[in-house]
Amino acid sequence: MPDEENIVLEDILEVLDFELSNRDFAIDVDFVEMVIERPDITYVPKAPYFVKGVMNLRGRIVTVIDLSALLDIENNSDQSKILVLKVKDIEVGFLVNNVKEVIRITKESIDKPLNSEDVNKKTKGIIKYKNRLILYLDAEKIIEI
C-alpha cells in the first residue's frame, strides 16, 4: 500500500497560475522565489529586446524580463507584478499582469500540442484545469534564452 501512495504523490505537480495579456500561464512553483509588486526598473542599454531592465531586490541586482515580448504576445495590459524565479542559480524577474493561485495537477492533465514546434521550445504543454486551458511554461528553457 505505501508504494501506491508514493506513486500518486509523485504524479502530482504544483504550478503557479498567472495571467499575461488576458491569457492563463503556469510555471513550476519550485522555481518561484516570490511574487512582488512592480518596483522601479532601471533601463539597460543594448540589452536584448525582451529585457526590460534590472531591479534592486534586497541588495541583489535582478534582470527583469518582459515575458510577453519573449513569448511574442501582444500585451497592452498593466504588468504590475513580478514573478521572481531562480533557475540553475540564475535569478530573474518576469513581468506579469496578475498572479492567480497555486494549483495542483497530475501529469495526465498536461497535453502536448501536435504541430506547435515553436511553442514546444519554451513550454511543457497545455494544462487542462477545470474549464480552462493553461499554457505550462518550462522555466529552464526560458532561462536558456
Domain annotation for the chain: domains and CATH numbers: 2-144 (2.40.50.180)
What's the CA gap between 86 and 92, in Å, rounded? 7
**Using one digit for the tens of pLDDT, what is the confidence trace for 66-87?**
999 998 888 877 889 999 999 9
Q: What is the pLDDT of residue 8?
A: 59
- Bridge-based pairing state of the strands 90-96 and 60-65: parallel
State the pLDDT confidence band at 4, using cuts at 50, 70 and 90.
Answer: very low
Q: Given a cut of 70, is residue 99 above it in pLDDT? A: yes
Query: How far from 30 is each of 60, 88, 116, CA to CA, in Å?
Result: 20, 11, 26
- Bridge-based pairing state of the strands 23-28 and 123-129: unpaired
- pTM of the full structure: 0.84
Query: How far from 65 is each of 27, 70, 90, 112, 142, CA to CA, in Å?
Result: 15, 8, 13, 25, 10
Q: Given a cut of 80, is residue 2 above it in pLDDT? A: no
* Residues listed for the chain: 145
Percentage of the chain beyond pLDDT 90 is 65
Q: What Rg value do the Cα atoms of the chain yield, rounded?
A: 16
**Using one digit for the tens of pLDDT, what is the confidence trace for 103-144?**
999 988 888 876 655 555 788 999 999 999 999 999 999 888
How much is the average pLDDT of 20-40? 95
